[in-house]
């Protein structure tokens, strides 16, 4: 796997991991809020094995990417970064965006710069979502934002309580990539704490309307991948999205919640590949 340093919209450095040969169809992977590019590891290997070039990005303020000097973490900032990265590849890549990454890609393609992507896969995110699910995620992300954790094991226990449906990790090496060790000896999430205060707009309804407008204007092929047990993208929300974007392809991944990629990676990856292979067949 190759490591790249890309440049975002503000001249900010964005860390990326790449697997696959130059010249293969490019698939840009944008993670959810509070995650890092490492959440795509298994999916990247599967994409590469099927003949694609997978590029997983650390969004601004996350992982090994630069923190925004002025705390610019509004949705437009993430969208602008994706546009800047897409231009790096010469021709429009396909984009697979989970949660925050999906919303940023939706704004980029449907509002700011149509034609940035050749296709758009939204992973358990739609313009209008269930507020209870949003509140649960924000609550989890803010609970330890300042205090952090005394050890990686302690962080693992907190995650296990938040995701009781998952088998608890035995190897914590992957989790360690999502944490940073501070000078006080405590571990904190690998993202800028200002992100969580800047990314949540005060007028949620207005934001929903804006995202619906962007979705209506997307001209490239669209794929919605939903976690069958998601508390953000309910069946009702899904129906509304498919009415809004009637030509969209839809995949429901059973036994997965909002973090579909980690909950059921094999099923998720196969759903994504089935969509991509109709658009970018590999000879």
Q: How far apart are the C-alpha atoms of 183 and 180, rounded to whole Å?
A: 10
Domain boundaries, the chain: 2-131+201-279
> What is the model's pLDDT at position 231?
92
Which residues are CB-neighbours of 222 under 8 A, at least 6 positions away? 119, 120, 121, 122, 215, 245, 247, 248, 249
C-alpha dihedral, 212 to 214 to 219 to 221, nearest 10°: -60
Compute how many other C-beta atoms are within 10 angstroms of the C-beta atom of residue 20: 22
> What is the model's pLDDT at position 99?
93
Extract the tokens encoding 148. Answer: 């952090």
pLDDT tens profile 64-121: 999 999 899 999 999 999 999 999 888 999 999 999 999 999 999 999 999 999 999 9
Q: What share of the chain is helix, strand, coil (3-state, %, to 5)?
A: 40, 20, 40
**pTM higher than the cut 0.85:** yes
Superfamily of domain 2-131+201-279: Alpha/Beta hydrolase fold, catalytic domain (3.40.50.1820)
Extract the tokens encoding 40. Answer: 């795509």
pLDDT for 201 beyond 60 = no
């Amino acid at each position: 796997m190759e490591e790249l340093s890309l440049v975002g919209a503000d001249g900010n450095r964005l860390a990326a991991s790449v697997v696959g040969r130059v010249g293969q169809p490019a698939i840009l992977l944008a993670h959810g809020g509070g995650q890092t590019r490492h959440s795509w590891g298994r999916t990247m290997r599967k994409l590469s094995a099927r003949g694609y070039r997978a590029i997983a990005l650390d969004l601004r303020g996350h992982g090994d990417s630069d923190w925004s000097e002025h705390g610019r973490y509004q949705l437009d900032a993430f969208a602008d970064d994706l546009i800047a990265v897409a231009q790096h590849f010469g021709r429009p890549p396909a984009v697979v965006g989970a949660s925050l990454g999906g919303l940023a890609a939706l704004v980029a393609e449907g509002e700011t710069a149509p034609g940035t992507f050749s296709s758009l896969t939204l992973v358990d995110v739609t313009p209008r979502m269930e507020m209870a699910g949003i509140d649960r995620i924000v609550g989890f992300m803010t609970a330890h934002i300042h205090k952090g954790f005394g050890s990686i094991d302690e962080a693992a226990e907190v995650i296990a309580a938040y995701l009781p449906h998952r088998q608890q990790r035995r190897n914590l090496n992957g989790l360690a990539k999502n944490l940073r060790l501070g000078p006080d000896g405590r571990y904190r999430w690998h993202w800028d704490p200002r992100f969580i205060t800047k990314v949540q707009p005060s007028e949620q309804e207005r934001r929903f309307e804006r995202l619906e407008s962007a979705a209506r204007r997307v001209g490239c092929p669209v794929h919605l991948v939903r976690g069958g047990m998601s508390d953000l993208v309910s069946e009702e929300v899904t129906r509304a999205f498919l009415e809004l974007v009637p030509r969209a392809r839809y995949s429901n991944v059973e036994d997965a919640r909002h973090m579909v990629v980690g909950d059921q990676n094999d099923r998720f990856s196969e759903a994504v590949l089935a969509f991509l292979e109709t658009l970018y067949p590999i000879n």
